[in-house]
A and B are shown apart, each in its own frame.
Chain A
Amino acid sequence: MERRVTIRKTAKLFIGGAFVRSESGRTFTYKQDGRVVNVARASRKDVRDAVRAGRTAWPSWRDRTAYNRGQIVYRVAEMLESRREQFTDALLASGIAPGAAAGEVNAAIDRVVWYAGWCDKIEQLLSTKNPVGIKHFNVSSPEPTGVVGVVAPDRPSLLGLVSTVIPVVCGGNCAVVLVGESDPLCAIALAEALATADVPAGVVNILTGGFADTVPTLAGHMDVNALDLWIGDEKLDAAAAQRACDNVKRVRRGGAPARRFWFGDSAQGPDWIEAFMEIKTVWHPAGV
């Protein structure tokens, strides 16, 4: 008999700032510490709802000052730091060794802090005032593209997730994130951290479950502006890339690099933010 009977958490989807079950009611099973967790399995309609939540949240997220976005992302790091134990437990449950788990949690927190400092600088880096040959004031600067669909890498389940999601929102976009079945707990813990970090509802939406239905739905959705695909299954990846062309999405395909890739310098950079931004150039005559 158990010494103390514990309260088991229901593993739900994170859509529009709320934790909800799949509209289909379906779940898949995942093992943590010997017991079975029934995790929500996202459906096509859940993807539809998540995209709608992202689109609704976008104008206000985009219009916030860059400084404000930076402060919010920094607060995400504060929440991650205070939830170290929860993340470590999730990684251990997924089969990562204790030393590696601690290293991954540190790397994830540090990466979020790193990106927090980019929010109010990326525009300076990517903007130019252009010396056009006629009497005009001419400036180019980046703007967020809109709603970005992210299919998170399978491994490392925490660092890979943070590395793909955070740069998307730093640029002022909203994200709809699909997370696979190999480790849903890190994603749920991240969702909880986001929900308590002043991130406005709908800016990040996280859907757990298999990709067979959700990836094609997201890839073909006409109100999604870009995709960030880290899919190991080549057929699924190729099919998604094809469907994305229906509304000329901006697509980045990373495949499934080795775990150690994500710990290196090439797994972070202002180019990761720039990938989901559009450059706008404005002309104005200069003359009295």
Chain B
Amino acid sequence: MATSQAPIRRRRPGKAARTSTRSARQPADGHARLAVASPAGTSWPYAAAPESHDYLKLASRYELFIGGKWVKPLGGRHFASINPATEEVLTHVGEASAADVDRAVRAARTAYEKYWRRCTPASRAKYLYRIARAITERSRELAVLESMDTGKPIKESRDFDIPLAAAHFFYYAGWADKLPWAFPNVEPRPLGVAGQIIPWNFPLLMAAWKIAPALACGNTVVLKPAETTPLTALWLAEIVRQANLPPGVVNIITGGGDTGAALVRHPGLDKVAFTGSTEVGKEIARECARLRRRVTLELGGKAANIIFDDAPLDEAVEGIINGIFFNQGHVCCAGSRLLVQEPVLDAVVHKLHRRMQTLRLGPPLDKNTDIGAINSKAQLQKIQALADSGEAAGCKRYETTCALPARGYWFRPTFFTGVALSHRIAQEEIFGPVLSVMTFRTPDEAVEKANNTRYGLSAGVWTDKGSKNFKIVSQLRAGVVWANTYNKFDPSSPFGGYKESGFGREGGMHGLLPYLER
């Protein structure tokens, strides 16, 4: 099915455009048009470019991966995993009960005492290198599976998710036998058994972010992937098995909120690591406080993306697009609040408007798709509700007008202008392709507005002036600051938040700290 593009239409046609010399030239129906006659006739649509996937064979049912083996869930229950782009059932996966959680934690403990603790660091490294290489070898298969399970474009899973997951294992493999150098004069020791819960936005990548450092530091793990995206974690389990890791070092148990809660509560864990919503994160923090258990959290964000009047504007617009529409906005560090210095507001809105027109929304497995499906019906409803609140509050809504496929969960890239900090769409994390545009006049004002949030995960700054960059970067209260770029990740680069975005870092040397006793 070919994707279509049409000029952007403002949601309330006929309403007066924002006054500026540029907008005044726009005709009343709101369609952006150039006032120059273009030659009629030339059109060059891209043909459908589907990624082939017949070699990917999905069984009708998958079990839990405990103690190095595939075992049926003790409660005997399975639940469906669906493709959000088509609403088709892909397969069924096991639902881990509290008893299964117990089995898994015991297996991890046994593996820790019997094998992993006694394994030389150099051997741990070699096992992790095997996993890294195997992910790269099977990368195409994993990318297709990830797109089918999450709804994200194949272009993203192929070029970003899977390679970065392999790189994370490769990077941490290298640390396994070098820990004495990471922290001067301290002999680092593992914590033991870690319980890890990951979200649905980058399933395989989040599994890599959790498992790789934990294992490198000598711990064993029980990982619960998100309810709506379990499949690549199960493929990873198979890779772990083929890499001949000692049984029980990695355990993967699928399930929903109940499984997660049972895992967090289990007395056999030495550590909990969670990435997900702030609300659930707070619950987990409370539980771990009660149990006096170590925990690290990576929660939500509402990042400010600050554009100064001396910014490289075209690249800044790319940064905005990348910041909020990449992965359909399902990114904790998404640049969801655009802060534009007033002199360039019109230019930025005009360029953003125009650039959004070229975003191709459509089937995730089409290689030319830029915007895929929303991960689940529940998430779609949340996004719709928040976007509607913005419109109800009087903000001007702009969205692309591409056709939406008949089945599946879809939301057009959208932005609002005339937003104030107190609007819900400026305060709450939407976790969807919705951008709120606000203005500022001076650097101090930008910093103040950027920091005026309970969150502190990430931020973006765009200016061509080096000293301004270094100054602003040092004032922003966020764990990751992107200057003249956005959404860049690397296994060697620590990632994590300030304030209610969580604590603890993943990636880099600092990413070892959550998994070591010092």
Contact = CB atoms under 8 A, between A and B. Distances in A.
When A and B assemble into the complex, do they touch directly, with CB atoms less than 8 Å apart? yes
Interface of A: 66-67, 70-71, 74, 110, 113-114, 116-121, 124-125, 137, 270, 284-288
Interface stretch (B96-104, B169-177, B199-207): B169-177
A120 B178 CA distance: 12
B181 interface: yes
A118 B125 CA distance: 12
Contact of B474 (A67, A70, A71, A286): A286
Interface in B104-142: 122, 125-126, 129
A99 B255 CA distance: 51
Nearest to B472: A288
Contacts of A117: 125, 173-178
A74 B474 CA distance: 37
B278 interface: no
B174 A120 contact: yes
B292 to A, nearest CB: 32
Contact of B174 (A110, A118, A286): A118
Contact of A286 (B167, B181, B467): B467
B470 interface: yes
B443 interface: yes
Interface string B437-474: 00000010000000000000000000000111011101
A118 B178 contact: yes
Contact of B467 (A67, A118, A121, A284): A284
Contact of B181 (A113, A119, A270): A270
Interface residues of B, number: 27
A109 to B, nearest CB: 10
B509 interface: yes
Given A114-B177, A286-B470, A288-B468, A120 B171 contact: yes
Given A67-B170, A124-B492, A113 B470 contact: no
Given A67-B167, A288-B443, A121 B492 contact: yes
A174 B181 CA distance: 25
A70 B509 CA distance: 16
B508 A113 contact: no
Q: Which 4 A-B pairs have the closest CB atoms?
A: A117-B174, A286-B470, A137-B470, A285-B467
Nearest to B494: A124
Contacts of A71: 170
Interface centre among A67, A71, A286 (most CB of B within 10 A): A286
B467 A120 contact: no
B125 to A, nearest CB: 6
Contacts of A116: 174
A113 B174 CA distance: 8
Given A113-B126, A121-B178, A288 B471 contact: yes
A117 to B, nearest CB: 2
Given A285-B470, A286-B470, 15 more contacts: A67-B171, A70-B170, A70-B174, A110-B122, A114-B178, A117-B177, A117-B178, A120-B492, A121-B178, A270-B178, A285-B466, A286-B467, A287-B468, A288-B467, A288-B471
Contacts of B175: 117, 121
A72 B145 CA distance: 28
Contacts of A110: 122
Contacts of A288: 443, 467-468, 471-472
B339 to A, nearest CB: 15
26 contacts: A67-B490, A67-B491, A74-B170, A114-B125, A114-B177, A114-B178, A117-B125, A117-B175, A117-B178, A118-B174, A119-B174, A120-B171, A120-B491, A121-B171, A121-B174, A121-B509, A124-B509, A125-B181, A125-B509, A284-B466, A284-B470, A285-B466, A285-B467, A286-B470, A286-B471, A286-B474
A118 to B, nearest CB: 7
Interface string B493-518: 00000000000000011000000000
A110 B176 CA distance: 13
Contacts of A124: 492, 508-509
A82 to B, nearest CB: 14
B136 to A, nearest CB: 9
Nearest to B446: A288
A71 B133 CA distance: 10
A214 B178 CA distance: 36
B369 to A, nearest CB: 28
B171 A74 contact: no
A24 B208 CA distance: 54
Interface in B279-305: none
A277 to B, nearest CB: 15
Contacts of A67: 167, 170-171, 490-492
Nearest to A111: B122
A32 B181 CA distance: 42
Contacts of B474: 137, 286
Nearest to A125: B181
Contacts of B467: 284-288
Nearest to A270: B181
B326 to A, nearest CB: 22
B127 to A, nearest CB: 12
A119 B167 CA distance: 13
Nearest to A66: B492
A287 B472 CA distance: 8
